[in-house]
Amino acid sequence: MTVLVTGAAGFIGAYVAKALSARGERVLGLDSFNDYYPVALKRDRARALGAGSAFEIIEGDVADQALLARIWREHAPTRVVHLAAQAGVRYSIEAPRPYVHSNLVGFLEILEACRQHQVQHLVCASTSSLYGQNPLQPFREDARIDRPLSLYAATKGANELMAHSYAHLYRIPTTALRFFTVYGPWGRPDMAPLLFTRAILAGRPIQVFNHGQMKRDFTHVSDIVAGIIGALDTPPTAVDAAAPYRVFNLGRGEPVDLMHFIELIEEAAGRPAERVYQDLQSGDMLETFADVGAARAAFGYQPQTSIEAGVPALVEWCRNYAWPDS
């Protein structure tokens, strides 16, 4: 039986494909290798994390109906971990159309393929951005998510609704996972952990939004991967009359002051940051804080990596990686 991992050259996807392959699963990856950030980083990541593994990555678009038909015809995946998406809160304000193509049309094609081939379990990525400025913390899965602050969050909320409808109509066991600020080696260079780390190591100033008055539930990629695999191994049954469908938060469950996170990077880098304080950006949340009790109860999710352990390893990897120019 084959597991299809979409976004397999992405930050989380490459780690998931490696972990599944390492435990003996037959894994097929799919990735478009788009240029939202340097394609060379994606190819380096796929090579580094795929070295010695048995998984193959097909280059292509999840919105390509004919390609998905060929994948099922030739490889017959029975489970899907759908991580492919156009990411980025701020970029969705500048360039909304890629989000419609990848996150809405692409997800529809994945749902249609899962329907046509009656997959055993679909696990799909969602986001903590859905919670917006909800004052009730920690965020629980039953909180309202109908007030997104960005188009990116809106597309992910639409994904959850689309997934529920397909689970209800076609009895496709489906799990949606809301990720909270993932960081670690091979991470996304558009996110704060690597933006800060690269700039501090290079002696460049960093932009600190909302004058540093923000908190994030920083979660190490290894804990996210453990949560994804735990969820994949525990497909839902019909928890109510509606659908075999569930939603879980995957975070550390420990909000961290942004300034403390920066201080940990400074300590590991061995130099102070030049901080340029800015106002809050459109689409940004003030604080994220995951209640992970549901995931713990369902499949034993238990984050292991503290920021005190995770940040120095990130800085060391960033220091040693030969960053591509484009």
**What distances in angstroms separate CA 3 from CA 102, 123, 247, 279, one per listed residue?**
20, 11, 20, 44
In terms of DSSP H, where are the helices of the chain? 11-22, 39-50, 65-75, 89-94, 97-99, 106-117, 151-170, 192-202, 221-232, 258-269, 293-299, 307-320
> Strands 219-220 and 275-277, how do they pair?
unpaired
- The two beta strands, 2-6 and 77-82, are parallel
Q: Are 189 and 324 in contact (CB under 8 A)?
A: no
Of 152, 166, 183, 301, the active-site residue reads 152
Identify whether 37 is a catalytic site residue: no
Class of residue 189 by CB neighbours under 10 A (exposed 0-12, middle 13-18, buried 19+):
middle
The residue assigned the tokens 């998984």 is: 55
What 3-state DSSP class applies to 166? helix
Instruction: Tell me the catalytic residues.
Output: 152
